[in-house]
């Protein structure tokens, strides 16, 4: 049944990453339940609960729930099962967390001595706000003058204008790599995203996603244009973009100071005045 399901996902034109994630979640389910037709709602709830107890992030559990719902909706619709055990799974709430930003001073210090490859990865994450999976497979043909054509989650395409401070590094990478992938892999193709993650983290002490958050926050502070930032990040929902942004610290301090009690009244100001109800 899984092979038939894979064919279905391919026929729908789903992105390779999405297909891999959906299949991986169902294949893991078969480790406990070899017969997927016999799985119950309680079985699925038990797996999601175990993930919670194990400390897995709510985003991960939400993706797994989505995989269950897509698979069993397909299986029920195509007659592989009599009823859909995932239909009534409760939604997974995403916990609000304080966004972690890579500090600009740490970033700039790391860039001073960084080799070209590391510098390119850091700048693409910080100045173009690209995801790890996006900059690791970026090709020279994706650059059209001062614009990058990015294929993001769900194979959605967007245009990201190139920051002036980023362009010289991209041109240097193109010259070194002969116009191919900006970050070639050891055995051909492009570098694996997890390898790129280790490279950036080892160089800076911060993961690539923290640079994406920092760039998005800086862009919003400078423009106050939430919609433009959403488009640059490739988010489907503006709510997701809002979660990415950290409130300006100066603004947060100002709000805290604004909770102070009013200043004491200068009695001399009211000397000679009659306070009371007007006649």
265, part of any domain: no
Is 183 found in the same domain as 121? yes
- Please tell me the pTM assigned to this model: 0.68
Rounded Cα distance between 278 and 24, Å, is: 78
CB 150 within 8 A of CB 130: yes
Residue whose entry in the numeric block shows the structure tokens 């989505």: 66
Q: How far is CA 104 from the centre of its chain?
A: 20
Segment holding 88, helix H or strand E: none
89, part of any domain: no
The tens-digit pLDDT sequence of the chain (279 residues) is 889 999 998 888 877 778 888 999 999 999 999 999 999 999 999 999 999 899 888 888 999 999 999 999 999 999 999 999 999 999 988 776 666 889 999 999 999 989 999 999 999 999 999 999 999 999 999 999 999 999 887 778 899 999 999 999 999 999 999 889 999 998 889 999 999 999 999 999 999 999 999 998 888 888 888 889 898 888 887 777 777 676 666 666 676 676 666 766 565 555 555 544 444
Other CB atoms within 10 A of residue 157 CB: 10
Structure tokens at 16: 């390779």
Domain final residue pick, 60, 77, 94: 77
Q: How many domains does the chain have?
A: 2
Is 69 found in the same domain as 108? no
CATH number of the CATH domain containing 11: 1.10.150.130
Nearest to 172 by CA among 185, 182, 163, 162: 182
Q: Which domain holds residue 127?
A: 104-252
């Amino acid at each position: 049944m899984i092979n038939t399901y894979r064919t279905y996902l391919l026929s729908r034109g789903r992105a390779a990453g999405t297909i891999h994630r959906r299949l991986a979640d169902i294949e893991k389910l078969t480790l406990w339940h070899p017969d997927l037709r016999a799985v119950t709602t309680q079985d699925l709830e038990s797996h999601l609960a175990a993930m919670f107890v194990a400390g897995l992030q709510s985003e991960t559990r939400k993706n797994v729930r989505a995989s269950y719902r897509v698979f069993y909706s397909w299986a029920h619709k195509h007659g592989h099962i009599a009823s859909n055990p995932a239909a009534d799974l409760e939604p997974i709430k995403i916990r609000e967390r304080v966004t972690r930003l890579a500090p600009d001073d740490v970033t700039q210090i790391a860039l001073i001595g960084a080799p070209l490859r590391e510098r390119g990865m850091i700048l693409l994450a910080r100045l173009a706000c690209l995801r790890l999976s996006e900059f690791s497979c970026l090709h020279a043909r994706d650059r059209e003058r001062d614009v990058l054509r990015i294929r993001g989650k769900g194979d959605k395409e967007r245009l990201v204008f190139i920051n002036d401070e980023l362009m010289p590094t991209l041109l240097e990478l193109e010259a070194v790599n002969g116009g191919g992938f900006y970050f070639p892999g050891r055995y051909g193709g492009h570098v694996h995203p997890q390898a790129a993650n280790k490279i950036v983290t080892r160089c800076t002490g911060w993961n690539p996603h923290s640079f994406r958050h920092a760039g998005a926050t800086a862009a919003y502070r400078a423009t106050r244009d939430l919609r433009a930032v959403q488009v640059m990040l490739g988010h489907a929902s503006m709510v997701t973009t809002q979660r990415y942004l950290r409130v300006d610290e100066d603004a947060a301090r100002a709000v805290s100071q604004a909770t102070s009690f009013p200043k004491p009244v200068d009695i001399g100001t009211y000397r000679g005045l009659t306070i009371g109800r007007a006649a």
